[in-house]
Structure 1
Amino acid sequence: MEVYQLHHPFDEAAVDQTPKVLAMGFFDGMHLGHQAVLKQARDIAHDLGLPLAVLTYDQHASVVFEAHEQPLRYLTPLKRKLELLAELGVDQTYVVNFTAAFAAQMPQTFVDHYIVGLGAQVAVAGFDHTYGADANSADMAHLTEYAQGRFEVCEVAKIEHLGQESASSYLRTLVDEGDVDTLQTYLAMPYQTSGVVVHGEARGRQMGYPTANVETPNDERLPGVGVYAVSLKIGDTWYPGMASIGYNVTFGENRPKTVEINLFDFAQNIYGEAVQVQWHHYVRGEVKFSGMDTLKAQLAHDEATIRDYFKVKESNEAGINGI
């Protein structure tokens, strides 16, 4: 997949302007609604014999319009988003630096430069997609008017799942609540984060449960505090295990939040490894125990529960695949 980084105003001569189908959106989460937009665009591109391109942004629009006390944390940071777009068959992605100058464009200017200027023959977006500075007319209902016959417009209807719109705002709530089980049904895949394995306090090792302490980038949204069934990718291999997100309250107050993962039947030294984490299943919340012995007993129970979860999961997947 070719990736173009665009800063407003960009030089149209510097990008590929050959005819294409252009899907537009921020695509944070790459959930069922986003997947529907990309599928529709991919089908149109296939029928017309054109490449599929995506127009997206490097940061959320709210960075321009409001103050944030904490760094924004995304469901799919840009690197992960680009990986998923490539997996979904996108040929070209245009990543626009979302700045105040870009946001100040009137809708017609945006259309002229960022749809026509990129060579779009068909523009595809969700029903709620907006663009340009005029809040009253920068919507899908007016896009055909701005197109002036230069490209076709395809609006993808709202996607609902479990009685709820598949929307990034709702998915962020699921992540914050730790409901990765429901979240997975909206993503059609496990929720995933990344990080680097760093040194911790080695208390897990003392109890017979050595952990990989994963330092997560500031722009990634971690699930809520609790214990989870996870998979950790090291190199090209996924390993099952159990993860704790929390403050280690058993060992004192006012402690930093950590991500600690105990991998089953694993004994490699992985300090410094860049890893990915798939969050499969929420098990329980964080508990303050009376000491190491009671905590160790709970960890044994958690391990048994999570091993059983993976056995059932593997059995179900084998059945689906006809193995």
Structure 2
Amino acid sequence: MEIIKIHHPYSASEIVQEDIVLILGFFDGVHRGHQKVIKKGIELAKEKGIKSALMTFNRHPAFVYRRFDPEYHSYLTPLKRKEELIASFGIDILYEVEFTSAFGTLPPQDFVDQYIAGWNAKAVVAGFDYTYGKEASDNMDHLHLYAKNRFEIYKVDVENEAESKVSSTRIRQAILDGKMAEANKLLGHIYETSGFVIHGDARGRTLGYPTANVLSDPDVFMPKIGVYAVLMKVNDEWIKGMASIGYNPTFGYRKNISVEVNLFDFKQEIYGENVRIKWVKYLRNEEKYDSKEALIAQLEQDKTDSEKVLSKVKINQIL
């Protein structure tokens, strides 16, 4: 997949000079609804014998259109993760547009002229709720008015699960509620965050459960406080483990939330390593224990529960 980064206004020399099917969307999460749009675009490109291209943005339009909104301050899929997922579907070209005020305030006709027709699109594919133009002022129902018969338009209907729309907002709420099975089903892949390993209190070693303390990347959407069955990628290998998000109340509350991962059958020193964590299942809430022995007993149960959950995950099929 060729990745092309665009800053408005762009030069014609930056654009691939051949016919394309253009797929439109922000695609945070690259969830099942997004996948339906992407697959339709790829299918259409193959039918026409031309390349598939996807346009997304480097940041959510909400940063330009409105004041701070916590829902869009962090992402289900930061840009690098989004690139990886989109590439897995077989997209030929990924255009990443920097969402600036100059770009975000383009009138609908200018957006269509410059960023659809100007990109040699012979067909456009987008979800039913895609918006464009100044402050997202227009939608798919009016796109034909601006197209002026220069390209075909395909509007993909809503993807439902349990009679409700599959959406990034719904997935965020499921993650906040600890409903990882639901979130992962809606995503179509296991939810993932990223960060790097830092020094911690080293208390886990005294309990027989040494942990890697992970400083999460600032733009990732974090799951709720609690204990999870997880997979963590270290040096290109996915390792089974369990993770805790919280304040370590048994030993006196920390000022800040920590992410600590106990990896099973793993004894390497990995300080400073970039890691990725897949949040497979929420096991329980964080609790304060009356003694060190009570906490160790709970950790033993958490490991048993995690191993049972993770035994059903096919690691070799994970992105």
Equivalent position of 1:132 in the other structure? 133
Question: Aligned partners of 1:231 and 1:214: how far apart in 2?
Answer: 13
Change (3 A) 1:145 1:32: same
Equivalent position of 2:44 in the other structure? 44
Amino acid at match of 1:115: I
Offset of residue 68 of structure 1? 2.3
Task: Write out per-residue CA displacement over residues 210-262 of structure 1, whole angstroms, 9 at most, x where no aligned residue.
Answer: 00111111000111111110001112211100000111122223521111010
Amino acid at match of 1:96: V
Amino acid at match of 1:108: Q
Question: Aligned partners of 1:69 and 1:41: how far apart in 2?
Answer: 31
Instruction: Decide whether the 8 Å contact of 1:175 with 1:221 is kept in 2.
Output: no
Equivalent position of 2:308 in the other structure? 308
Q: Name whichever of 97-106 and 74-83 sits farther off.
A: 97-106
Equivalent position of 1:273 in the other structure? 273
Equivalent position of 1:15 in the other structure? 15
Instruction: Decide whether the 8 Å contact of 2:62 with 2:69 is kept in 1.
Output: no
Task: Write out per-residue CA displacement over residues 85-139 of structure 1, whole angstroms, 9 at most, x where no aligned residue.
Answer: 1111111111111111211111110000000111111110000000002755x10
Matches within 5 A, 1:211-226: 211-226=211-226
Offset of residue 177 of structure 1? 2.1
Question: Aligned partners of 1:231 and 1:68: how far apart in 2?
Answer: 32
Question: Aligned partners of 2:175 and 2:276: how far apart in 1?
Answer: 16
Q: Name whichever of 210-219 and 287-296 sits farther off.
A: 287-296
Question: Aligned partners of 2:145 and 2:260: how far apart in 1?
Answer: 53
Question: Aligned partners of 2:302 and 2:163: how far apart in 1?
Answer: 32
Equivalent position of 1:97 in the other structure? 98
Equivalent position of 1:110 in the other structure? 111
Equivalent position of 2:76 in the other structure? 75
Offset of residue 67 of structure 1? 2.8
Amino acid at match of 1:124: V
Matches within 5 A, 1:243-262: 243-253=243-253, 255-262=255-262
Amino acid at match of 1:164: S
Equivalent position of 1:66 in the other structure? 66
Instruction: Decide whether the 8 Å contact of 2:56 with 2:97 is kept in 1.
Output: yes
Query: Tell me, which stretches of 5 or more residues in structure 2 are unaligned?
Result: none
Instruction: Decide whether the 8 Å contact of 2:244 with 2:261 is kept in 1.
Output: yes
TM-score, length of structure 1 as denominator length:
0.94
Amino acid at match of 1:210: P
Aligned to 1:297, the other structure's residue is in SS state helix
Task: Flag as ranges the 4+ runs of structure 1 deviating above 6 A.
Answer: none
Matches within 5 A, 1:178-257: 178-253=178-253, 255-257=255-257
Equivalent position of 1:30 in the other structure? 30
Question: Aligned partners of 2:258 and 2:212: how far apart in 1?
Answer: 10
Instruction: Decide whether the 8 Å contact of 2:104 with 2:135 is kept in 1.
Output: no
Question: Aligned partners of 1:210 and 1:107: how far apart in 2?
Answer: 55
Task: Write out per-residue CA displacement over residues 266-295 of structure 1, whole angstroms, 9 at most, x where no aligned residue.
Answer: 111111111111111110011111232211
Root-mean-square deviation (CA, aligned residues, Å) is 1.7
Task: Write out per-residue CA displacement over residues 147-188 of structure 1, whole angstroms, 9 at most, x where no aligned residue.
Answer: 101100000000001222111111111222222111110112
Aligned to 1:261, the other structure's residue is in SS state strand
Instruction: Decide whether the 8 Å contact of 1:248 with 1:255 is kept in 2.
Output: no
Change (3 A) 1:113 1:69: closer
Instruction: Decide whether the 8 Å contact of 1:176 with 1:223 is kept in 2.
Output: yes
Change (3 A) 1:97 1:135: closer
Question: Aligned partners of 1:193 and 1:139: how far apart in 2?
Answer: 32
Change (3 A) 1:79 1:9: same
Question: Aligned partners of 1:179 and 1:266: how far apart in 2?
Answer: 28
Change (3 A) 1:303 1:92: same
Offset of residue 48 of structure 1? 0.7
Query: Tell me, which stretches of 5 or more residues in structure 1 are unaligned?
Result: none
Q: Name whichever of 89-98 and 250-259 sits farther off.
A: 250-259
Aligned to 1:155, the other structure's residue is in SS state strand
Aligned to 1:13, the other structure's residue is in SS state helix
Question: Aligned partners of 2:69 and 2:33: how far apart in 1?
Answer: 29
